[in-house]
Amino acid sequence: MMNSAVSIYPSILTNSVELAQKQVDLVSQHRSLIESLPLRVPAIQLDIVDDSYEGDITIPISLVSEIAFGDIPCDVHLMTKDPLRDLLLVEKIREKHASAISRVIVQVEHISTFSTLFQVARELNLKIGLSFDVLTPISSVDPTVLAQADCVQMMGIHAGAQGRSFQREVISKFQETAIFRERIVDGGIKPDTMLFCLQRGITSFTVGSFFWTQPFDQAIRALASSIAQHEHQLSS
């Protein structure tokens, strides 16, 4: 297996269980290709969006159990009005797919009580990541709360929709999150924006529409080419 310092999370955002299953299966079918490239795919990220954000409304959390993830782990990204309620519903999914979900990434804009969120996550043996929308400052969350998160995610586009242009100014937020083991950029990622982020020290990416608007193998090879270009720049 090649170098796997860069993590890519294929992002699924749809109101169709059938399409979600098809996209999960695409990732699974390309496992051997992924393992030959200078990247890793630790999990799929499944987006759950209600009408609290501008964009598309997806399948509800209650239907996630209809998706067969196989041996591919899944992160659930909650962009919802009541993430605590939805966090509790994740347990129902795990009753059917025991090892499918180990981490839930929650948009901070709708978290009313962080202490309760983390308490429930511990009781469910779930990791919690915190995600910030484009215009949400890191300073909106207390540093002691941030320190409890498994990862921090910055939206490169406004939460709730795929296919929009990457907002490069969000990278400045990562200067305030250097303590995290994993810092993820979500949205607007394609080869040129990935290279821009790699050059600024970001190595984890959630990739949505770039995967689903062309053949999956072509898309992931193109992303791998940006990683190779960056490594060449570092060695030059």
**Alpha carbons 38 and 26: distance in angstroms, whole number:** 19
Query: Residue 105 is encoded by which pair of tokens?
Result: 């990434």
Pick the CATH number of 7-235 from 3.40.710.10, 3.20.20.70, 1.10.3720.10, 3.20.20.100: 3.20.20.70
- pTM summary value: 0.92
Question: What pLDDT sits at residue 53?
Answer: 76
What CA–CA distance (Å, rounded) separates 208 from 188? 8
Residue-wise pLDDT for 188-199, tens only, equals: 999 999 999 999
Question: Rounded to whole angstroms, how far apart are CA atoms 75 and 110?
Answer: 18
∠ Cα 187 184 92 (to 5°): 85
Digit-coded pLDDT (tens) for 2-58: 445 899 999 999 999 999 999 999 999 999 999 999 999 999 999 999 988 777 789
The string over 174-193, giving b where at least 16 C-beta atoms fall within 10 Å of a residue's C-beta and e elsewhere, is beebeebeebbbbbbbbbeb
Q: Which residues pair with 27 in a beta bridge?
A: none
Between 222 and 169, the higher pLDDT residue: 222
Contacts for 132 with CB less than 8 Å, ≥ 6 apart: 107, 108, 138, 140, 141, 152, 153, 154, 155, 173
pLDDT in tens, 98-155: 557 889 999 999 898 999 999 999 998 899 999 999 989 988 999 888 889 999 999 9
User: Alpha carbon 15 to chain centroid distance?
Assistant: 17
Question: Considering only CA atoms, which of 194, 214, 196 is closest in space to residue 205?
Answer: 194
